[in-house]
């Protein structure tokens, strides 16, 4: 099983950016944790991060026919990007939206997600563990166990 884990803008700055909200671990730490979790499940993860909306749309489209599912943390694009929503809907792959923090507990402009309607679930506020929960959820879903 192949899963693509997509991280949006500023997630390349994990460990530096607002550590009181996001912690001190880095994107490389997150990727290593997900790889380790995926191994025993028979899952091959691929990772992509970009600060550019079009690049995120492109990678979602490229996943069509290549990946079995997607995990996406669209970061700030959660609240603004109809293009990412449309790309997720176009490829039709099962996707889980993940956020390290809980956007609904933050500023009001972060409360609405354009991405959630294209996802089978949204996991918020669980830090790095949210990505592991997303892997488990997708594996069960794809294997018909959920």
Residue 101: CB atoms within 10 A of its CB come to 17
Task: List, for the chain, all residue ranges whose pLDDT scores fall below the cut of 70.
Answer: 109, 146
141 is an active site residue? no
77 is an active site residue? no
The Cα–Cα gap between 6 and 102 comes to 18
- Bridge partners, residue 44, by sequence: 2
The Cα–Cα gap between 58 and 72 comes to 13
The pLDDT score that the predictor gives to residue 9 is 97
The pLDDT score that the predictor gives to residue 106 is 75
Q: Choosing from 22, 77, 114, 131, which is the catalytic residue?
A: 22
Quick one: CA dihedral 134, 95, 66, 62, positive or negative? Answer: negative
pTM here? Answer: 0.93
Taken as a whole, the chain contains a residue count of 146
The pLDDT score that the predictor gives to residue 71 is 98
Residue-range definition of the domain harbouring residue 86: 2-142
Contact 137, 121 (CB under 8 A): yes
Alpha helices, DSSP H, located in 9-96: 19-22, 27-38, 53-62, 82-91
76: CATH: 3.40.50.9100
Q: Choosing from 37, 77, 99, 114, which is the catalytic residue?
A: 99
The pLDDT score that the predictor gives to residue 101 is 85
The pLDDT score that the predictor gives to residue 137 is 98
The Cα–Cα gap between 52 and 68 comes to 24
Structural domains in the chain (count): 1
**The pair of three-digit structure tokens given for residue 60, joined into one six-digit string:** 């979602």
């Amino acid at each position: 099983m192949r899963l693509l884990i997509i991280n949006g803008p500023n997630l390349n700055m994990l460990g530096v950016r607002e550590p009181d909200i996001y912690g001190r671990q880095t994107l490389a730490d997150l990727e290593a944790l997900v790889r380790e979790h995926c191994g025993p499940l028979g899952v091959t993860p691929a990772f992509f991060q970009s600060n550019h909306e079009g690049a995120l749309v492109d990678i979602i489209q490229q996943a069509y026919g290549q990946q079995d599912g997607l995990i996406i943390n669209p970061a700030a694009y959660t609240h603004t990007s109809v293009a990412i929503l449309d790309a997720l809907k176009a490829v039709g792959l099962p996707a889980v939206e993940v956020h390290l923090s809980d956007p609904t507990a933050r500023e009001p402009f972060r409360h609405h997600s354009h991405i959630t309607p294209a996802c089978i679930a949204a996991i918020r506020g669980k830090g790095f563990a949210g990505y592991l929960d997303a892997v488990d959820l997708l594996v069960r879903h794809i294997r018909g166990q959920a």
